Structure 1
Amino acid sequence: MILFLDFDGVLHPLWEPAPFNDWQLEQTFGPRPWPGPFFMHAPVLVELLGPYLDQVEIVISSTWGRKRDLATLRSLLPSELAARVTDAVHHQLPPQQDIQRGDGLTSRWEEIAFYREHARPDIGDRWLAIDDDDLGWPDGERHHLAHCARDLGCIEARAAVARALAGWRSLKDPLAIRRPVPGRSP
């Protein structure tokens, strides 16, 4: 399986909480980007991927891939994840100036779709994206998205990833579907 992995909003928060949890300050000054520490929830992803890790190829779909080479991207992750990283979506997209001229890659969905069509048409239906950005995802493709409305520090995000991985496993492993339950006839 190919796992498209986002960083911001998944492996660490996207936004810094408003001071004193004051929503009026946030409304007045806007949210501020997360200042760090980064990748603080990467160990959570290692744990979630544990049973699947040897079957996963990770492609970085984060914008962190725009200005960092593959070795640098790998170095940001725990060794268990780094060893599975094979590519980055942004390394296969048209140059940024071409995108701005109208290639239309304005959402994470469009970037992943472009990558799948042009860089890896061989993956077919064997992929999953873990991302906090669900903008533009077609309804018929949402089963490929483990949407993290918040980062993996949040129990709901961890549950979304666990459900998506379990769903992938049951769809991809015919034995998981047909395996007899002890004490029941097939």
Structure 2
Amino acid sequence: MHTDCYILLDFDGVLHPKDGGPETYFVDLPAFEAVLREFPGVAVVIASSWRHTQTLDALRSYFSSDLRARIVDVTPDIPQAAGDTDRGTRHKEAMAWLERNAEPGMTWIAVDDMPHLYDPSALVVVTRDGFGDAEANALRAALVNPLALMQQRQASNSNN
């Protein structure tokens, strides 16, 4: 598979409500998968904390069979130094994975409900406790024009 872009994907707060129980797990996965099917050159790397307790094959099993091959890996775990906050931790893990596995300059987009885990300059589709129509449209727009998402995020950061 030729890869045009990587999505660094969180689960909790993205594919299901953050504080929902097991009965809500992956309720929003069909909406995410619908977007993924529109962009065949996009691969997914799991950045979720679920990667700490499940194998890559187990994580793939949550996805529809036609998309499992596009779930290519998990980000590495980079331990925090004592006293560090979690600010930017997923960004560091994403960069470590990309440096080892992606072509230089490869486009990547994070889909996460906690944007503070990424550098302010990162392309992050921020979810609001699930992946609904707004998030699907934002991800589509970002995959078509990643620069527009980055400019929107930078404008948002400068207003805060």
Same fold (TM over 0.5): yes
| Equivalent residue, structure 2, for 1:14 | 18
d(CA) in 2 for partners of 1:169, 1:88: 25
Aligned residues: 142
State whether residues 65 and 73 of structure 1, in contact with CA within 8 Å, keep that contact through their aligned partners in structure 2.
yes
Q: Note if 1:56 corresponds to 2:42.
A: yes
Task: Give unpaired runs (5+ residues) of structure 1.
Answer: 17-33, 171-186
Determine what percentage of the aligned residue pairs are the same residue. 28
Counterpart AA for 2:51: G
Give the conservation status (yes or no) of the 8 Å contact 1:60–1:85: yes
Structure 1 residues 13 and 123 mapped into 2: Cα distance closer, same or farther (>3 Å)?
Answer: farther
CA deviation after TM superposition for structure 1 residue 74, in Å: 0.6
Q: Tell whether 2:27 aligns with 1:40.
A: yes
TM-score (norm 2): 0.75
Moved beyond 6 Å, runs of 4+: none
- Tell me the residue number matched to 1:129: 110
The one-letter code sitting in structure 2 at the alignment partner of 1:161 is L
Question: Could you tell me which residue of structure 1 aligns to residue 135 of structure 2?
Answer: 157
Q: Secondary structure at the match of 1:135?
A: helix
Pair 1:71 & 2:50 matched: no
More relative contact order, 1 or 2 (CA 8 Å, 6+ apart): 2
More helix by share: 1
* Amino acid aligned to 1:47: A
**Equivalent residues in 2 for 1:135-174 (5 A)?**
135-141=116-122, 144-152=123-131, 154-168=132-146
Q: State TM-score, norm by structure 1.
A: 0.65
